[in-house]
Amino acid sequence: MTVTSAGAETNAVALPVPDAADPWADGAAAALAPRARLLPALGAVYRAQLSRAKVARIPLLFVATFQSVGIMILMRGVVDGGSEARSVVAGSSVLVVAFVALNLLAQYFGQLRASGGLDHYATLPVPPAAVVLGAAGAYASFTVPGTVATAAVGCALFQLPFANLWVLAVVIPLAGAALSGLGAALGLLAPRQELATLFGQLGMSAALLLGVLPAANLPAPVDWVRDLLPSTYGVEALARAFDPHPDWLAMAGDLSVCAAVGAVSLAVATWAYRRAACR
């Protein structure tokens, strides 16, 4: 029980007077919890997203795989072999990555922003980069079985060598990073959820048309647009792996472009997440 300045009794609890040696005596508010470090937070977000998306995204992954395999079967009646067959198989394989990492991730972040779900992540002591990278990594991980299956079916369908399919272990994460960053940025920057869905669909359509169709048959202006699409470089790298004598140096150059675009696009997506979460 304390006494107010007017002399009336009250049941208010007296607060301790801050000591001059108290590090919080200057009025700064103590954080409720220490901010998580990037790698542990990234692992936690990745596992949470992987568990959350497992049930909802697996049927869509089957759709993406069947779509890519169906495209290869249709192209089998037009393309017999050679460099065109390598382009078709590589483009169809990377299309699985584009469907999930670009299209679905753009829709996910667009929905998350529209529904106020970003507010939930904003209250957690998690770095923004961990949220973006964790979600992007989880979605990209779902592309692994479908991409491997599509490439294996394509090799059998077009009589391409299986020996260098190990290149997928590099192509999937680098192309996935580039497309995931692009998809997350599109979803976070789109002013409305419907536009995020539209941008994701357009990106996947571009990966389909410009990645699967052999580049030699495309007009020059379309070929220039193709060079701007990050998935193109993953397609080129994988197509080189099917060559009897792969140009490893050119393949490394294509993968380096994927890595650079992935770093930039994920950085842009992280900035877009901070911008959207602060509104």
Q: What is the mean pLDDT of each run of 10 residues along the chain (279 residues)?
A: 44 44 40 63 81 68 87 86 87 91 89 82 79 85 89 93 92 91 91 91 88 79 84 92 91 94 92 81
Res 254: pLDDT = 94
Identify whether 15 is part of a domain: no
Indicate the pTM of the whole model.
Answer: 0.80
Identify whether 1 is part of a domain: no
Q: What is the largest CA-CA distance in the chain?
A: 98
Identify whether 25 is part of a domain: no
Domain of 93, in residue numbers = 35-277
Res 57: pLDDT = 63
Identify whether 20 is part of a domain: no
Phi then psi for residue 10, to 5 deg, are: -145, 160
Residue 56: exposure state from Cβ atoms within 10 A (0-12, 13-18, ≥19): exposed
Helix (H, G, I), strand (E, B) or coil at 279: coil
> How far are the Cα atoms of 22, 111, 212, 242, 262 from residue 133, in angstroms, in the given order?
39, 17, 28, 31, 11
Res 30: pLDDT = 40
Q: Which residues are 2's β-sheet partners?
A: 10
The number of folded domains in the chain is 1
- Answer yes or no: are the C-beta atoms of 75 and 89 closer than 8 Å: no
Identify whether 134 is part of a domain: yes
Identify whether 6 is part of a domain: no
Identify whether 212 is part of a domain: yes
State the pairing for strand pair 2-3/9-10: antiparallel
Six-digit token string for 88? 């078709």
Name the DSSP class of 165. G
Identify whether 8 is part of a domain: no
